[in-house]
Chain A
Amino acid sequence: MSAPILEVRNLTKQYPGVTAVDGISFRVQPGICFGLLGPNGAGKTTTIEIMEGILAPTAGEVRYRGEPLSERFREEAGILFQATALQNFLTVRQSLAMFRGLYARGRDIDELLKLCSLEALAERDNRKLSGGQLQRLLLAIALVNDPAVLFLDEPTTGLDPQARRNFWALVRSIKASRKTIILTTHYMEEAEILCDEIAIVDRGRIIAQGAPGALLREHFAAVLLELPKADFPPAARALPLQLIDAQDRIEITTDDLDATLRALISAEVPLKNLRIRPANLEDLFLELTGRELRA
C-alpha cells in the first residue's frame, strides 16, 4: 500500500455543549474517491472543513503527504463547498479567471469550460445560472488550480435527478484522471457510484469503513426482503427471522430465501407487496444504527 495522500488522526471538534466530531481517524490513498457517508448532522461537513484547513480542530490533526497542512496544501487542493455565492455582475469566464489568478499554477480557462460543459455559458452572468449550471461552475473553480486532491461537500444536494446524474458523470471523468477525491454525501446511491472507499459517520464517529461492496458483503449474507408494516401481523414477529424495523416497512435479511418465504406463508403474511432486492448502503446504515440514513 502506498503512502496516504491525506491522513486524519484522532480528529475532535467540540462546540459548546456539542461534540461534532469525536476522535475520527482514517487514511486516504492517492487516486481514489473517498466518501464520508452519513445523515445530516453526523459531522461530515465539520470533518471535511477541518481537512480543508478552514476550520481548526479542538484536538487531533490532518496531514497532507505526511506533513501538517501548509501553503503547499492550499496550492494543491480544490474545494467545492455545500453553498458558495460568487461575485455579482461577473461572467462565468471572469469568475474562473479571478480564481485562476489566486494560484501559482493551474489549468487553461477554455479547457475547464469544456471539461465542465460550460462553453455555451462562458459569457453569462453568474446570477443567471441554474442550480446545476452553478454547481458545474463551482466544480470548475475547484479544478482551476489542477488540484491533486479535490474536496466535494454534498455536491449534488438540491439538484434535480437529471442534473445530479450529469454531475456524477463529470466527477467520474475527473476521477479517471487519477485525482484524489474526498466526497461527503447523504445519498447512498452517490457513494455507491462514485466512491472506492467509504467511511460511514454517525454522531461524530466512524461506525464502518471500507470499500462499499466489501462492507455490504461483510454485513449482508444474501438478499433483503421488504414488506409494508401494515402487511406484517404482530404474530409474525415471533418467527425466527432477522428483522429490521424501518420507518414504514419491515426488512428481512436472509441467506435462505426459500425457507424464509415458507415461514412467512405459514404465518399468513400477505406477500402481495413483497419486494426482494440486494442490500445497499442505506440498509447497511440501518443495520448498524437502527436508524434510517435520511431521517
Chain B
Amino acid sequence: MMRRLFAVWHARNLEFLRDRGTLVFTLLLPLSIIVGMGFIFGGPPRPLFKVGVLDGASAREADPFLHTRYVQFLPERSTAQGLHALRRERIDLLLAPGAPSRYWVNTDSPKGYIAERLLLAADPHAQRLPVRGRSVRYLDWLFPGILGMNLMFSCLFGVGYVVLRYRQSGFLKRLNATPLTAFEFLSAQVLSRLTIIVLITTLLYVAVGAMIHFHNAGNVALLLLITVLGALSMIALGLTVAARFASEELVNGLLNLLTWPMMLLSGVWFSLAGSPRWVRWVADALPLTQMLHAAREVMLYGAGIGTVAPSLIYLGGVTLVFLGLGAWSFKWRT
C-alpha cells in the first residue's frame, strides 16, 4: 500500500512543482495577503473610535478629551462635511472644541454611544447638538457590501472557471471550428453571467431586504444600473484572467489574488475612513469599492445619478479596458 501511495504522492508533487505559474502564485498569494494585512492592520494598536474634530489643530492642547488613547481624531474642514461623515458612519462623533465644547453624535450607533461617554467623562460640560437625518444601522450599511461581495465572487469565479473548463476539455477548440467568433463567444459568456447575477442579486435584495426590514432611500432603476455596471466590470476581470491560461491552479491563484484585496479593501465589512492615504488609493482603484460606494449612496442616502456618476464612469471604463484585454489575449486552445 505504501509503495502505491508513494508513487501517486511523488507524481502529484512533480506535477505541482513543474507547473511554474501555479507554484509562484501559491507562494505569492499568501505572502501578498500577509504583507497587505500587515500594512493595513499592523503598526501601533488601532484606534477603537473615530472622532471628527472641527478646528482640531488649534484646540488639540487645550481639550483633555483630545488626548484620549485609542481614539483617532480626524480633522474636519466644516460642520457640513463633518455631519456628512457622521451620517455615513465614517466617524462616530463630531466635536467642535471650545468653551463649552459642542458635539454631534448618532444616538443609534453603539460606537457613537461609547464615544459620547468618553467625551463626557473628560468634559462633562460639552453640549450635544442634534443630528438631522435618518441614522443608518450597521446591518443596513453591511447589506450592500454582502450583495456586492456575492456578485464579485459569482462573476469572477463563475466566468473564469467556466472558460477554463471549456478550454481544458477541448470544447473551445470545437467551437473554434464553427463560424463562432471570439467576440461572439465572449459576449455570450458576459451576457449569460450578467443575466444570472442580476436575477440572483435582485432576489437576494428583495428577500433579505424584507427579512432585515431594509428601506431603500434611493431610485431602484439607478441601483439596477449600478449592479449591471458593477457585474460587467467583474465579469470582464474574470474573462481577462481566463482568456489564455489552461492551468486550473494558476487561474484559481489569480482569481484569489483579485478577490482577496477586494474583500478586505473595498469596504464590504467596515469603512476605510482614517486608513493610510495609500490604502485608500488602492481601495478606490478596485471596482468593488466604486460599486459599493455608489450603491450605499443610493440605498442609504438617496443619492441621485449626479452623485454616483464618477463611480459609474469608472466601472464602465474598467469594463471596456478588461473586455478589450480579454478579447485581445483570448486563446481557443491550450
Name A's B-contacting residues (CB within 8 A).
52-54, 71, 74-75, 77, 79, 81, 83-87, 99, 102-104, 141
Contact = CB atoms under 8 A, between A and B. Distances in A.
A71 B181 CA distance: 10
Contact of A103 (B169, B170, B178): B178
Nearest to B175: A102
B180 interface: yes
A84 B175 CA distance: 10
A99 B179 CA distance: 10
Interface string B156-183: 0000000000100111011111111000
B171 A87 contact: yes
Contact of B177 (A53, A71, A85, A104): A53
Interface residues of B, number: 14
A71 B180 CA distance: 10
A168 to B, nearest CB: 23
A133 to B, nearest CB: 17
Contacts, number: 40
Contact of B173 (A74, A81, A102): A81
Contacts of A141: 174
A75 B179 contact: yes
A74 B170 contact: no
B248 to A, nearest CB: 15
Nearest to A76: B179
Interface in B138-196: 166, 169-171, 173-180
Given A84-B174, A102-B179, 11 more contacts: A52-B177, A54-B177, A54-B333, A71-B179, A74-B177, A81-B174, A84-B171, A85-B170, A85-B171, A87-B166, A87-B171
Contact of A54 (B166, B169, B176): B176
B178 A99 contact: yes
A152 to B, nearest CB: 13
Nearest to B168: A85
Nearest to A103: B179
A192 to B, nearest CB: 28
Nearest to A87: B171
Given A84-B171, A85-B169, A87-B171, A102 B178 contact: yes
Nearest to A88: B165
A74 B179 contact: yes
Contact of A84 (B173, B179, B180): B173
A211 to B, nearest CB: 29
Interface of B: 166, 169-171, 173-180, 332-333
Q: Which residue, of B169, B178, B332, has the highest number of chain A Cβ atoms within 10 A?
A: B178
B277 to A, nearest CB: 47
Contacts of A102: 175, 178-180
21 contacts: A53-B177, A54-B176, A54-B332, A54-B333, A74-B177, A77-B177, A79-B174, A79-B177, A81-B170, A81-B173, A81-B174, A81-B177, A83-B170, A84-B170, A84-B174, A85-B170, A85-B171, A86-B171, A102-B178, A102-B179, A103-B179
Contacts of A54: 173, 176-177, 332-333
A53 B166 CA distance: 20
Contacts of B173: 54, 81, 84
B196 to A, nearest CB: 14
A70 to B, nearest CB: 11
A270 to B, nearest CB: 45
Contacts of B333: 54
Give 4 nearest A-B pairs by CB, closest first: A85-B169, A102-B178, A79-B177, A74-B179
A104 B177 CA distance: 15
A100 to B, nearest CB: 10
A141 B177 CA distance: 12
A221 to B, nearest CB: 44
Contacts of B332: 54
A79 B180 CA distance: 14
A102 B332 CA distance: 16
Contacts of A79: 174, 177
A291 B171 CA distance: 35
A84 B172 CA distance: 9
Contacts of A81: 170, 173-174, 177
Contacts of B166: 87
A81 B170 CA distance: 9
Nearest to B185: A102
Nearest to A79: B177
Nearest to A74: B179
A52 to B, nearest CB: 6
B158 to A, nearest CB: 14
Contacts of A74: 177-179
Nearest to A75: B179
A51 B222 CA distance: 51
A78 to B, nearest CB: 9
Contacts of A103: 178-179
Contacts of B171: 84-87
Nearest to B184: A102
Contacts of A71: 179
A112 to B, nearest CB: 16
Contacts of B175: 102
A135 to B, nearest CB: 14
Nearest to B180: A102
Contacts of A84: 169-171, 173-174
Contacts of A85: 169-171
A215 B23 CA distance: 54
Contacts of B170: 81, 83-85
A99 B180 CA distance: 10
A110 B99 CA distance: 89
